[in-house]
Each structure stands twice: as C-alpha cells, then as structure tokens.
Structure 1
Amino acid sequence: MLFISCNNEDIATIVAENLEKAGIRLKLNSQEMSAWQTKIMYDKNFSITMLAGYQGPDVSGIDNRVKTVGSVNIAGYKNPHLDELLGKADQYSEVKDRKQYYDEVQKILS
C-alpha cells in the first residue's frame, strides 16, 4: 500500500494489521508527497493507497474526493447524480438546508 510518508505510517500500519486478520497481506511503501502524487494522481500506478487528511466539520470537503472532477478523486469515481446533489448542497450555507442533499449522498456512498 502506497502512502505519504510525512505522518501516515501509524495509520498505514494499523490498516495493514487489520487486513492481515482477514487474510490480506499488504506491503507498506511510504513515499514523499511529490513521488506519491506522480505515482497515484498522474500515472494511476497503484493497487491500493491511502489518502488521509480531511478534517471536518464541514462535509463539503468530500467534493474533492468523490465528485467526477474532484481534485483528489484518485479512484476515478463517477456518478452524475452524486455530482448534482453535491452541487445543490453547495448552494446553501445553513446545515438544515444542505442536510437533505448530504443524506442522499451518504446513501449513495454507503
């Protein structure tokens, strides 16, 4: 599993240990950010990777990870309906107004 070396080794180790319990063995491979970006985001040369770092509480940050044109949509996920829901949610600033859209997003992604 490729991961960014700056501060993710502990998390990567825990993921590997948990997967080992399920019979899946991972070889951990830490990369500096620029090498990781080249290999993952540009070359798409990976089987499994880890992208950490999103902190809430505003859920709109998920856009970059799951929108078709998201800047860190490294999996290449594409769902026009999800894109539409995220776009509608972004039109509002109040949580109560955005909730219906994010509830539907959660159903799609779960």
Structure 2
Amino acid sequence: MLKADISLPLNALKKENILNAKRFNLGFSRICQKIHTKHFSYLIAQGEDLSTSIGIIAGKKKVKTAVKRNLCRRLNKEMFRHNKAKFTNTMLIVIVSQHADAATKEDLWCSINSFLAQYAQL
C-alpha cells in the first residue's frame, strides 16, 4: 500500500499560527496599533519575541449564524495565509463587528482589503 504525501504547502497555516486562549492574553497585553474597518477591528501586537499568528473573535451575539461566523474566520485566515510575510513577529487579533452579520462575501473581502491597504501605510 502506498502512502500519500501529506506535506503542507509553504504558505499553509499551521497550529502555531493560530492563537489559543493563553496566547490571546499575551497578544492583548502587547497591542500597539488598532485598525478599524466596517466589518472588522484589527488589533496588532508586535515584538521580537512574538510569533507570527492570528486569532479571530466572532461572537454569537454580534454575528447570529454559525455559517457567517465561520465565513468571517475563513476569509481572515486566508488573507493571513497569503500575506504571512507582511506580519513577521506580529500577532493579529481580529474582532468581527455586528455589521458583518448582514454583509455579503464581497463586502467582507473589501473590508479585508481595506485593512491591508491601511496596514501597508504603517
């Protein structure tokens, strides 16, 4: 029986790139920049000892359906995966706002691209 090669691509997200509960506290204690868009708030923590990672907070009170919450998570993780080189030694915490509940996928992507444009200017 042949074994399949299950190695991840170079720009894939790994477990260490996703914040867990303990590392969220470290990220919140080191916040140095905040960027707000219509659908998301991005909290940026930077430091030499921080690993490149992302954490997403999508509360049930703000975004009612699980489908929409998961869409917000997936889109932000995809943005992070494609732009991981821009976020060296950075923890990115994303908070989903109430406006994301009624937004379409295209609106969410526009909001994410707006963040990337603002982040590039920093």
TM range (shorter): under 0.3
Larger Rg: 1
Q: Which structure shows the higher helix fraction? A: 1
Normalising by structure 2, report the TM-score: 0.24
Normalising by structure 1, report the TM-score: 0.26
